[in-house]
Amino acid sequence: MTQVLDKPLELKAPPSPAERTARRRSLLEWIAVHSLGIAAALFFTLPFVFVLLTSLMSDSQALSRDLIPHTWEWDNYRKVFDTPGFLTWWRNTLFYAFLGTALTVISSIPVAYALAKFRFRGRNLALMLVISMMMLPPQVIIIPMYLFWAKQLDLSGSLWPLIIPMAFGDAFSIFLLRQFLTTIPDEYVDAAKVDGCGDLRTLLKVVLPMAKPGIAAVALFQFFYAWNDYFGPQIYASENPGAWTLSYGLESFKGAHHTDWNLTMAATVLVMAPVILVFFFAQKAFVEGVTLTGVKG
Amino acid sequence: MSTYTLRAKHRRSTLRTLAFLSPWLIGFTVFFAYPLVSTVYFSFMRYDGFRPPVWTGTKNWTYVFEHYPLFWPALRNTLWLVVIMVTLRVAFGLGVGLLITKIKTATGVFRTLFYLPYLAPPVAATMAFAFLLNPGTGPVNSLLEKTGLPAPGWFNDPSWSKPALTLLALWGIGDLMVIFMAALLDVPKEQYEAAQLDGATPWQRFRYVTLPNISPIVVFAVVTGVIQTMQYYTQPLIAGKVASGVIQGAGTLFEPGYPDKSTLTLPQLVYNLGFQRFDYGSACVVALVLFALSMAFTALLMRRKGGLIQAGER
C-alpha cells in the first residue's frame, strides 16, 4: 500500500477537444466491437448449450418447449451407453481413426518430402495431380470403387475399404505436409547431405524432427476426417451393424429412439465431445494446420 | 566426371524420386485414375451388380437428363447452394475474422468459442440443428415466438430448408475465420497508417487496403467453398431424414430430398441411383456431371492467382 502512495501522482494535462473526440470514438468502437463479439459468441455457443440442456431433460420434457430441465436426468447418458451397438460403434470409430491416421501419416511423409525438396521433371505436374485428387468429390469414383472392394475383394460390411487406401498416401495430407516442408530451409537438407546422410536418413533424422507441427496437424485432420466420415461407412459398412462407426450409427440412433430427443441429444454430445476434447489438447497444431492450407504459399 | 558416372547418378536420383513417390503413384493409379476411367466406362453400360454389364450407348445419359425426376431439382439445389451458401459463408467468415482482430479483451476465449462449431462432426451438428430448428419442439422457434418474430418451418418447409442448411453452414465458419484472421494480421500496418494520413474513411481503408491485400485468400475461400458444396452430402441427407421422421430399418421409405426435393444434392443422386436402385450406369452419369462441374471450378482456381496455386507454382 505504502509503495503506491509513495509514488508521486502523475498529473496529466486536460485532454484537448480533438483528443476527447478521438477518445470518445475509440470508446464507442470498443463497445460496438465487443457487443458484436458477444452476439457472435451467443450464435456460436447457444446451439451447444441447448443440446446439452436437452440431453439432461426427461423424455416428456424434451418434447415440450421448455429450455431448462426441471429435473436433471444424468441417467440419460448411462442409457445411451446401454443402447445395443453404441460401444461397438466407439470401438470401430477408434480403430478406423487411429489405424487410418497412422497409415496416412506414414505413407504421405515421403511423398510430401519428395514434392517439397527433390528437383525432378514433372514435379509441378505431380503437384497439380495431387491437388486435383484433393478436389475430386468422392462420389465421382464411388461406383467403381465399391464394385472393386465389394464384388472383387468381397470386403463390404467392413471398414477395410476405407482404411487400406490410406496406406497409399492421402492427397490432402500430402499437400498440407508439402506446404509445411517447403517452409523448412533447404540449407538443412544440403548440410545433412554434405555430412554424408542419405535421403532416407536426412528425412528421418533432420527433416522429420523439424516437421513435427506439420505432422501433428495432418494427423489431427485425418483423425477428425475418420471420426466425422458418414459417406464411407454408409457405402461399405451399412449392411453390417457390427462395423458401424459413431457418425453413421448416430443417425440410426434417432430412428431407434424415435421421439426421445433427450437421448438423441445425449448421444450427439457423446459424439461431439471427444473431438472437442482433442482440440483443447492440440489447439496450436490444429489452428496452424488450418492456416497452412489457406495462407502460407 | 565421366558421362558414365553422370548417367548413373541421374538414374539413381530418378529411382530415388520414384521410391519416395511410390505410395502415391500406386494410390493415384488404383484409387483415382482407374476408377475415373471406369466411371466413364460404366456410364455407357447397363449394370445392376448381378447380371453382367451390357453396352447401352447413351441410354443412361438420356434417362438421367430426360426421365429421372430428381436430376434437375438436385442440380438446381446444388447451384443455389454454390451461389448463396458460399457467398454468405465467405462474407460471414471474413466478417468474423475482422471482428476477432478487433476484439482486444479475452481474444483467446472468443476465438475458441467461434472456432468450436467447425469441429462438431457433421452428423452430430445436423442432428443438433434438426432438433434446435424443429418447428414443434425446438428452442429456436420458441424463442422466436416469445419475441413475436415469425417462426418458420425450417427443415420441414421446402422454401426454408436450404436457408436452414445455410444457417448450419454459417455456424461452422471456424476454419474460414482462422484463415481470414491470419491474412488480415499479415496486411502491412504502414499501408493503414498511410491511408489514415490521407484521411481515408474506415470503409475506404477496408476497400482499398484490406481487400486487395487479402484477395488471394478470398479467391481461395470461394473456390474451396464451391468444391466443398459440390460434395455436400451428409448435412442435407441427415436433415431431410430427421425432419421427415423416417425410422431406419422399419420399412419406411425415405423421400429423397425431403421436403419436396428441396435438400437434394448431386452426390445424393449418385447414392440413390447406385445403392438404392442398383442402376450403376446412371449413377455414373451423375458422377460425371459432378466431375465436370468440379473440374470447371478447379480450372478456375488454377487460372486465378489464389492461395493454392501460388503454392503449386513455387
Per-residue pLDDT of chain A (297 residues; tens, 9 = 90+): 445 556 566 666 777 888 888 888 889 989 999 999 999 999 999 999 999 999 999 988 888 878 888 889 999 999 999 988 899 999 999 999 999 999 999 999 999 999 999 999 999 999 989 988 988 999 999 999 999 999 889 999 999 999 999 999 999 999 999 999 998 899 888 899 888 888 889 999 889 999 998 999 899 999 999 999 999 999 999 999 999 999 999 988 876 666 688 999 999 999 999 999 988 888 887 777 777 776 543
Residue numbers in chain B where pLDDT is lower than 50: 249-251, 306-314
Torsion region of B151: left, alpha or beta (phi above 0 gives left; psi -120 to 50 gives alpha): beta
Q: Do B31 and A168 touch (CB under 8 A)?
A: yes
Q: Do A114 and B20 touch (CB under 8 A)?
A: yes
Q: Which residues of A touch B99 (CB under 8 A)?
A: 33, 36-37, 40
Pairing status of strand B45-46 against strand B54-55: antiparallel
Nearest to A261 among B123, B131, B291 (CB): B131
Per-residue confidence (pLDDT) for residue B310, from 0 to 100:
45
Q: pTM higher than 0.80, yes or no? A: yes
Per-residue confidence (pLDDT) for residue B117, from 0 to 100:
96
Per-residue confidence (pLDDT) for residue A297, from 0 to 100:
39
Q: Tell the residue number behind the cell numbers 523439424, with chain if given.
A: A210
Whether the link from the prior residue into B259 is cis, omega within 30° of 0, is yes
Nearest CA-CA distance, residue A245 and chain B, Å: 12
Q: Which residues of B touch A228 (CB under 8 A)?
A: 121-123
From residue A281, how far is each of A275, A284, B179 by CA, in Å?
Answer: 10, 9, 21
As given in the structure block, the three cell numbers for residue A156 are 463390404
CA B140 – CA B152 distance, rounded (Å)? 10
Q: Do A146 and B275 touch (CB under 8 A)?
A: yes
CA A60 – CA B78 distance, rounded (Å)? 38
Sorted by sequence, the CB contacts under 8 Å of residue B138 that are 6+ apart come out as B131, B132, B154
Q: Tell me if chain A has a CB within 8 Å of the CB of B278.
A: no
- Chain B, 44 to 63: residues with Cβ < 8 Å from chain A are 49
SS3 A147: helix
DSSP B35-83: HHHHHHHHTTEE--SSSPPEE-TTHHHHIIIII-TTHHHHHHHHHHIII
From residue A202, how far is each of A181, A283, B256 by CA, in Å?
Answer: 13, 29, 54
A258-270 burial string, b = 16+ CB within 10 Å, else e?
eebbbbbbbbbbb
Nearest CA-CA distance, residue A14 and chain B, Å: 25
Task: List beta partners, residue B55.
Answer: B45
Per-residue confidence (pLDDT) for residue A240, from 0 to 100:
93
Q: Which residues of A touch B112 (CB under 8 A)?
A: 283
Per-residue confidence (pLDDT) for residue A99, from 0 to 100:
97
Per-residue confidence (pLDDT) for residue B250, from 0 to 100:
45
Per-residue confidence (pLDDT) for residue B5, from 0 to 100:
75
Per-residue confidence (pLDDT) for residue A294, from 0 to 100:
64
Per-residue confidence (pLDDT) for residue A16, from 0 to 100:
82
Find the helix packing angle between A261-281 and A17-55, rounded to 10°.
Answer: 130
CB pairs under 8 A between A and B: 275
Per-residue confidence (pLDDT) for residue A274, from 0 to 100:
92
